[in-house]
């Protein structure tokens, strides 16, 4: 500046110098504005990040589902209150521990398999129902899903979700119990005709017994007593079916031989089958050895099905020349299941009848059936964790298939 003041200068040079000074001042002002804007943007971005982080944290903590997140070495970093409620551990005592020791083996193995495949398109574990063991040893039913988190094909962590099904299962049991009790009420009302027939049988039998005693007629006495015995059996079956259907009975596992259980059923009903020229065929697989299951449940289910099969042959009036038979099979399946098949070549069922056989007090036996036998069978199979199915062709026969899991 002193050069311009002490020395004569040209207007053109002074103009250039002032222009450059103005540009520098403008640049400094712009830099300050940019700096202020950048600081403001950083502040806004930080506040937004904190807001989203707090939102996600509150979202995770307020979720009713259990959420467990890990780092790339399977160490637990997130364990929300939902997970605490399900597993019984506090976040303080579980964070930092290996999640694979917390999860059931099938979940740990599935997640490790997904994590090991870096090129897997789907790094997610589909929803499935499983049972987990809590800190107290309680078996808790849950729905579970999970995912492996990746960055550039490298695992950076995992997250697993658990939905507590205890309340849902409790409500399902309550609903099933209510439906069962309602069905019993409907059954009792709908079985008035069946009970009346039983009473008629008792009256007819007692009348013949009285006649036989008065006239010393042994034949009438024997016929009347047989009639009374038959109706005692029908009354007993009716009461047992009602009790079995109304009460919940968890399976009682114990070592047993399924082939022996099936053989006992066949032996019990053999005389009744022989009286009506019906052959009972026993096709037991030698692969079925000793297993752990509920033999009483298996026995009751087979007793109902084989008895029904014999009745189906007896009621097959359109095939008088047919050689009726009932085949009872046992088959050992994979994944720890025993399959029982009861096949007959009796009357068979139409599609309409087959669609109704598992409904309350529906019977194809008229006044001789209670309509509860198959309902009881299905209930017992369900309680044992098994399945029941049926195939039938009118005039050709029917096959019932039940599958029971074993330990």
Fold category of 63-164 in CATH: Beta-Lactamase (3.30.450)
CA angle 94, 169, 189 (to 5 degrees): 165
Residue position matching structure tokens 């059936």: 369
Question: What share of the chain has pLDDT > 70, as a percent?
Answer: 81
**Structure token digits, residue 401:** 């298939």
The model's pLDDT over 269-302, given as tens digits with 9 standing for 90+, comes to 888 888 888 999 999 999 999 999 999 889 888 9
Q: How high is the mean pLDDT of the chain?
A: 81
334 vs 179, 262, 284, 337, CA distance in Å?
A: 34, 20, 17, 6
Choice among 64-68, 109-113, 157-161, 315-319 with the minimum mean pLDDT: 315-319
pTM: 0.48
- Segment 6-11 mean pLDDT: 58
Q: How confident is the model at residue 216 (pLDDT cuts 50, 70, 90)?
A: confident
**Structure token digits, residue 309:** 């099969």
**Structure token digits, residue 276:** 């009506």
**Does the pLDDT value for residue 56 go beyond 90?**
no
**Does the pLDDT value for residue 340 go beyond 60?**
yes
Domains 63-164 and 251-407 agree in fold: no
Instruction: Assess contact for 372 and 241: CB atoms under 8 A.
Output: yes
**Does the pLDDT value for residue 243 go beyond 70?**
no
Rg (CA), the chain: 39
The model's pLDDT over 132-145, given as tens digits with 9 standing for 90+, comes to 888 888 888 999 99
Q: What is the DSSP letter of 159?
A: E
Class of domain 251-407: alpha beta
**Does the pLDDT value for residue 370 go beyond 60?**
no
| Backbone CA torsion sign across 182, 384, 251, 369 | positive
**Structure token digits, residue 170:** 């409790």
> Which residues are bridge partners to 397 per DSSP?
393
Tell me the domain boundaries of the chain.
2-61, 63-164, 167-248, 251-407
The per-residue pLDDT for 367 is: 46
All residues at 6 or more sequence positions from 86 whose CB lies less than 8 Å from its CB, including other chains? 66, 132, 134, 140, 142, 162, 164
Q: How confident is the model at residue 393 (pLDDT cuts 50, 70, 90)?
A: confident
**Does the pLDDT value for residue 327 go beyond 90?**
yes
């Amino acid at each position: 500046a002193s050069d311009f003041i002490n020395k004569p200068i040209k207007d053109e040079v002074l103009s250039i110098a002032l222009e450059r000074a103005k540009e520098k001042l403008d640049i400094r002002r712009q830099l300050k504005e940019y700096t202020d804007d950048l600081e403001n943007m950083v502040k806004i971005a930080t506040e937004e990040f904190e807001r989203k982080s707090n939102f996600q944290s509150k979202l995770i903590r307020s979720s009713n589902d259990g959420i467990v997140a890990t780092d790339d070495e399977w160490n637990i970093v997130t364990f929300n209150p939902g997970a605490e409620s399900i597993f019984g551990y506090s976040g303080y005592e579980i964070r930092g521990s290996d999640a694979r020791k917390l999860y059931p083996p099938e979940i740990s193995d599935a997640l490790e398999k997904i994590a090991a495949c870096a090129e897997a398109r789907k790094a997610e574990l589909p929803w499935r129902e499983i049972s987990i063991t809590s800190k107290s040893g309680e078996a808790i039913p849950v729905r579970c899903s999970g995912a492996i988190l990746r960055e550039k094909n490298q695992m950076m962590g995992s997250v697993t979700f658990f939905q507590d099904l205890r309340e849902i299962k409790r409500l399902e049991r309550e609903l099933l119990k209510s439906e069962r009790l309602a069905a019993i009420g409907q059954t009792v009302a709908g079985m008035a005709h069946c009970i009346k027939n039983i009473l008629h049988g008792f009256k007819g039998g007692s009348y013949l017994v009285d006649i036989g005693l008065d006239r010393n007629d042994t034949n009438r006495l024997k016929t009347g007593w047989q009639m009374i015995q038959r109706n005692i059996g029908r009354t007993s079956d009716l009461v047992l079916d009602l009790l079995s259907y109304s009460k919940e009975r968890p399976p009682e596992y114990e070592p047993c031989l399924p082939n022996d259980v099936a053989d006992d059923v066949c032996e019990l009903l053999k005389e009744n089958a022989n009286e009506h020229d019906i052959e009972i065929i026993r096709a037991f697989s030698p692969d079925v050895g000793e297993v752990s299951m509920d033999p009483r449940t298996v026995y009751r289910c087979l007793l109902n099905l084989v008895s029904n099969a014999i009745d189906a042959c007896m009621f097959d009036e359109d095939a008088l020349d047919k050689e009726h038979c009932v085949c009872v099979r046992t088959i050992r399946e994979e994944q720890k299941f025993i399959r029982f098949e009861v096949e007959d070549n009796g009357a068979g069922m139409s599609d309409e009848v087959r669609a109704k056989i598992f409904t309350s007090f529906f019977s194809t036996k008229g006044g001789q059936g209670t309509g509860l036998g198959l309902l009881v069978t299905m209930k017992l199979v369900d309680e044992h964790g098994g399945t029941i199915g049926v195939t039938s062709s009118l005039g050709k026969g029917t096959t019932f298939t039940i599958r029971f899991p074993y330990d």
